[in-house]
Every structure is written in structure tokens, then in C-alpha cells.
Structure 1
Amino acid sequence: VLYCSDGCRDSAWNLYHRVLCQGASVADPNHPTEKLKDAWRNMHYPPETSSIMLIARMIALVKQSDKKDQILSKFAEFCKSTVNEEEHIAHKLLGKEFQEQLEILRSLVCEAFYDEHVQQWFTPEGFRSLFALIGTNGQGVGTSSLSVWVHNCDALELSDEERQTLDAFIDQLYVDIEKESGTFLNCEGSGLYTFQSACNHSCQPNAEVTFPHNNFTLQMVAVQDIKAGEEICISYLDECDRERSRYSRQKALRENYLFNCNCSLCQSQIDDPDVTSEEEEEEEEEDEEQMQEDS
């Protein structure tokens, strides 16, 4: 593992890394952690390891800590339901097609990190619950140089024509790069943040999550005036998904976060036709082709 400094390395070693390291080289394909990461990469597209390693770090934190109950209490603050009992919405990772894969992952996690203090996480139901905790609360740590550059471009003072040209270039750049990197383009890891995870969603949020220091330090910043006593809401969807139809937004939120959104925007669009993202993309492509023909 590469660390940014000796202090960062020592901090990780004292918190959780002694458990993850297990004394062997991770270059060894039979290393328990490497076997786990390799299995997850083969199951998940686009390939990444931050999600499964976040689970491993949670277990390692408890195993290595002298204050196990305190850490478990902190993890208990996060939502970890696998099914919304009221609306009967099953988490998409827990459908029948994922059961065999989850069992493989559970077996590998047990082999590498089993500990009686968190034995509830190693049962089939407990592991599904742990997976749901990561799926519904995990925050991508967006500190890539590309995301910083795009954010800085937003602040440039440009003419309308220059802005359109730059936006078109950025859009195409994302399309080209995402063919290789998938949706993890601007994500350099995954973390759990208790304050951020306590915020409800709105498709018209009054605050947003930022990483201003290009590290894992998260800040929530108001994007509009917030009155005293007004609820602070963020968007669980990225900017592109928020531009989709109400139907597509609701579908994504049900699958990933187990609820139907009733924010003011969704209420105002309640009578809109059920248009899927695929149909929207086809319409956008047709509009672009028409614009090119007109020009």
C-alpha cells in the first residue's frame, strides 16, 4: 500500500492496517485480501476495489480497536436496511442474481477477517446488511485532477459561445474517458461520513458535498440561501442523473437507496410521462444530429 506520508502510514497501521496486512505480501495472489479484491473486481463493473475494501476496513477497525463497542455504536448510526418494509423495495445488489456472488464474498471475508466481536456481520443476513450499509451510505471521495479542473472551468468568465464550446468539449471528454473507466471516473475511493449520510435527498438540493482540499476531507456547502430551521438536503444523484426524467431519477433512488422521492421537483413532475434514461439519451442524440444538420 502506498501512503502520502509516514504519518499517514503510521496512522493507518495503528487504526486498522495490522489486521489487513496479515504479514504477507499483497503481490501474492493467495493473500486473503488480494483474493477478496480479485473476486470483487471480477463481479463488479467497472472494476474497483474501494467498496469491498471499505467493508474490510470496517471489520479491521473493530478487530484492532481497544474500544470495540464505541466503534460498533458509530457504525450503527448508518442506515443498513436491505429492504424498505413499507414500500417493499429490494436493494438491487441483493436480488436473486447476486445471491451466489454475495456468498462467495462472505466466504472470503470470513476466511480473511472473522472476529467474534462482529460475528453478526459474518452471517448471511448480517453480511447482506453490511453490504447494504456500504451501498446506501458509501460516499465516493471525488478528488481526481479532472474533477478539480472541470470545477475550475465552471468559474471561468466566458462568452456564451465560449461556454458552449467548453461544455461540449468537457461532455465529450467524459464520454470518451468513461468508456474505459465507467462511473468511477471522479472517484478515488469510498468513505463513510456520519453527518453527510444523515442528510436527506432532494432532486433540488440546497447543499452539495465537496472535497476542497483534494483529500478525503469532506465539506458540505450551501448552493442557495438556507433559512433558519430549513432542512439541509443534498442530492444522492450526480448532476447528470438529476437532469434525467422524474421516472429515471425515481428508479435510480429506489434501486440504490430504497425510497421513492417526494421532493418539490418530483411532486411538480408527478404527471410527466414515464420516460427512461435510454429514451432520453436517444432524444438527445437525435437533437444533436438535427443541430449538426441545421448548421
Structure 2
Amino acid sequence: MEVPALERFLSPGKGSGLRSRRQVRPGELLYRAEPFAYVVTKEQLGGVCEQCLQRNEHLHRCSQCKVAKYCGKSCQKEAWLDHKRECKCLQNVKPNFPPDSVRLAGRIVFKLLRQSACLSERLYSFKDLQSNAEQLSEEMKEGLGHLAHTLQLYLRAEIQDASHLPPAIDFFQIFTKVTCNCFTISNGEMQDVGVGLYPSMSLLNHSCDPNCVIIFEGYQLLLRSIREIQIGEELTISYIESLMPTSERQKQLKRQYCFECDCCLCQDQEKDAKKLAGEEPAWKEVKDAVNEVKYPKSKEVLSATGSSKQMLRNDDTLGVMCSPSPSSYGIQDRLYYPDFHPLRAVQLMRVGKLQYSQGMLPQALGTLKQAYDIMKVTHGTDHSLMQALMDLKEQCEAMMKLH
């Protein structure tokens, strides 16, 4: 598919967002971005190809570092430019393994040293990225300082003396930029597989009630509209999980991105009472349980400081809690998520699969049709998950004809 022209958008100034030059319909692919740098998360090592990020049970590991694993020679060859120098670093720190953020920062350093052009910098370059360093808490600064020291030790096999690096390559500054600009890369079903930096997409500002969503196909970032956007209207995405009440969203945004949101959802707080209905301690227990799954306690900045835009985290736990049975799914999530939200589509698809496996064919077909109506907007008809959904829907229709 042709990559949409960036001329459709305008950037009034650095950090001030993107605005549409024309009227946009729901479900349009607005931009397809390649990463400036990305890595597979530690949890997914060995199960996901380092290059294409596709899940594969038969990966071939790098014969030198024995850490990076690939689908085959083609992917390994494509990845070599990014892996060549980090390969020596990974060998040098064995049996230890760097945190995801340190490995990502290492790749950023090597990319900057190569001075190679990157398509994802067409609107906004890495050097332009905001860091919010002066607004970070002392605790955050101390944590990032430790990571900068860890990065220096990790890169020692390739960079013996960091003081000889160009002034533009400052380890601490790299981490401050990573903290508020990198994206969690998820697969079609919203399961986290990697972390990446897409500089031009960092121009997108936040709204708790956004008009666009970001999904991924492999390492490619896809920006799609989820409702009609007028000429001159700002394109927005959500940096955080929208299931949280306003006060919780504001805390996370302030801590991680150093701003307060004043979107319509935060101003009227209409849905907060429904989210907190019943027992507030129970809701907090659910939130803490989900966070424990999503953000295990460790020294890694990507979990310890929440350094990536958690836009499409996989909420299996929340999905199950909101859906006690296949027939009752959807009552709660429709209260909180916008009409077109990728997680709604994925959860409906899962429920449809469950209904199909239980022989509830009419119900399954109805649920899969709901998933289709949402997914054609959030994912588009060319996405691999959409193809899987259409195959399942066709199987269900064929089974109903037999019965």
C-alpha cells in the first residue's frame, strides 16, 4: 500500500502537534512510519524475530552473541547493520543482559554515530525530540543517571571512552528523550513485543478522547483516524490507558510526560463515577494487579519509570474481568472505551472465538461482525489480524450453513 503523503499534515512548530490539511474520514491510514531504532523486549527474546518482530517457534540465533534470534538468513542480513556493534557489547556483558531501555539507547547511539538518514525523521528528527529533563522529578533524574552509567558500561566493548563522543551524543539526554518519546510496539492482538522510537510521530499530542489510534504491523507504526477530522483540526492519540479515572490519568501524565491534560474527557469527568461504581478498593486492586502484570518491578526504566507511550497495551486481565461470560461481554468496555478502540475489536474477536468453540454459532457470528465493524476502522482491511478475523467469520458462516 502506498505510504500517505506527509503533505496532508502541517506542523505549526516543534512540539506543537500535527494538524490535518484536509477533511479525514474514519478509518483512513494517515501515516506509516519506520522506526529510528527498536528492540525486542527481554520477555519476548527467543520467541519473536529480532528483525520482523513476528512470532516464530523455530528461530535461528546469532552465532556470536547467541542472544539475537531471527526467522532466517534474510531477516538476519537485514538486521546486521543495527546488530553488528551491539553484538560485541552483548558478548562483553555476559552472563548479564542489559535492560530494554539500555539496549535501545545503545542502538540509538550507534545510529547517531553512523549519521544515517531515517524516514521516520522526515517531520521531526531525533535531535528535535523534547526531553522535559528540567521538569523531571529528582527520583526520575537519579534513575536515568544510573541507566546512563549502565549504558556506558554496556557500550565499553565498542566505545572505550564516552568523553570522545560528539557533544550531540549525551547518554543522560538520550534517556530523557527515550522516557517520553518511545512507543511500546505490540502485535496484532495488542501483546507487547518491543519498544521503538519514531521521531516524527512524537509530534502527536495526547488526548484521553483521541481522534486517531496507533497500531503496529511488525515494526511498522500505523497511524489511523477513528472519527471524522476537519481541516485544521489537531491529530491526537492517547498516551495512556483510558480505563483509568481522570485523577489516575492525570497522575501518570504528570509523572511521565510532565503535563496536565485538559481534554473534554478530563474536564467533565462524566465517566469517572461509572468506573469507580461499587467498591473503589476493588477497582484499585484490579488496577494494581494489572500493573503488576504489565510493569513488573525491576531496575529497567521501561518498567520502573514507565518510559514508553502505553497506547495499546494488552489488557487481557481487564478483558477477562469485564467479560465474565461470552454472552455478557461488552457492557462495561463500551462505557469506557470510545466506539472505535483497537482493544475493543481484539476483545470482541477473542469472545467470538470462544463462542465459536462452544458451538454458539449465531452469537459468535454476531460478535465477530461487531469486531469487524471496529477493526476495519482501527486496523484496516489489509492488517494481518483483520485477515485472521475474516477467515474466522467465514468459517463461522460456513458452519452455520451446515447446521
TM class by smaller structure: 0.5 to 0.7
Of Structure 1 and Structure 2, the greater strand share is in 2
Deviations 1:157-195 (A, max 9, x none): xxxxxxxxxxxxxxxxxxxxxxxxxxxxx2111111123
The residue that corresponds to 2:229 in the other structure is 226
Match of 2:230, SS? Answer: coil
Instruction: Please identify runs of 4+ aligned residues in structure 1 that moved more than 6 A.
Output: none
TM (norm. structure 2) is 0.45
The 1:285–1:59 alpha-carbon spacing in structure 2 relative to 1, beyond 3 Å, is closer
Do residues 78 (structure 1) and 129 (structure 2) align? yes
Task: Indicate if the aligned counterparts of 1:246 and 1:269 stay in contact, CA closer than 8 A.
Answer: yes
Q: What are structure 2's unaligned runs of at least 5 residues?
A: 1-67, 287-320, 325-403
Match of 1:128, SS? Answer: helix
The 1:33–1:113 alpha-carbon spacing in structure 2 relative to 1, beyond 3 Å, is farther
Measured in 2, the distance between the counterparts of 1:93 and 1:256 equals 9
Measured in 1, the distance between the counterparts of 2:112 and 2:174 equals 14
Post-superposition offset of 1:117: 3.9
Do residues 58 (structure 1) and 108 (structure 2) align? yes
Measured in 1, the distance between the counterparts of 2:112 and 2:228 equals 40
The 1:248–1:266 alpha-carbon spacing in structure 2 relative to 1, beyond 3 Å, is same
How many residue pairs get aligned? The number is 211
Post-superposition offset of 1:11: 2.6
The residue that corresponds to 1:266 in the other structure is 266
The equivalences for 1:116-127 within 5 A come to 116-119=164-167, 121=169, 126-127=170-171
Measured in 2, the distance between the counterparts of 1:218 and 1:99 equals 26
Match for residue 132 of structure 1 among 176, 186, 196: 176
Measured in 2, the distance between the counterparts of 1:104 and 1:82 equals 17
Fraction of identical pairs, as percent: 26
The 1:120–1:245 alpha-carbon spacing in structure 2 relative to 1, beyond 3 Å, is same
Measured in 2, the distance between the counterparts of 1:34 and 1:10 equals 25
Task: Indicate if the aligned counterparts of 1:81 and 1:129 stay in contact, CA closer than 8 A.
Answer: no
Do residues 21 (structure 1) and 93 (structure 2) align? no
TM (norm. structure 1) is 0.60
Post-superposition offset of 1:127: 2.7
The equivalences for 1:125-204 within 5 A come to 126-143=170-187, 146-147=189-190, 186-204=191-209
CA-based RMSD of the aligned residues comes to 3.6
Letter in 2 for 1:255: R
Higher relative contact order (CA 8 A, sep 6+): 2
Measured in 2, the distance between the counterparts of 1:66 and 1:102 equals 25
The residue that corresponds to 1:159 in the other structure is none
Q: What are structure 1's unaligned runs of at least 5 residues?
A: 41-48, 148-185
Match of 2:193, SS? Answer: coil
The equivalences for 1:228-243 within 5 A come to 228-238=231-241, 242-243=242-243
Of Structure 1 and Structure 2, the greater helix share is in 1
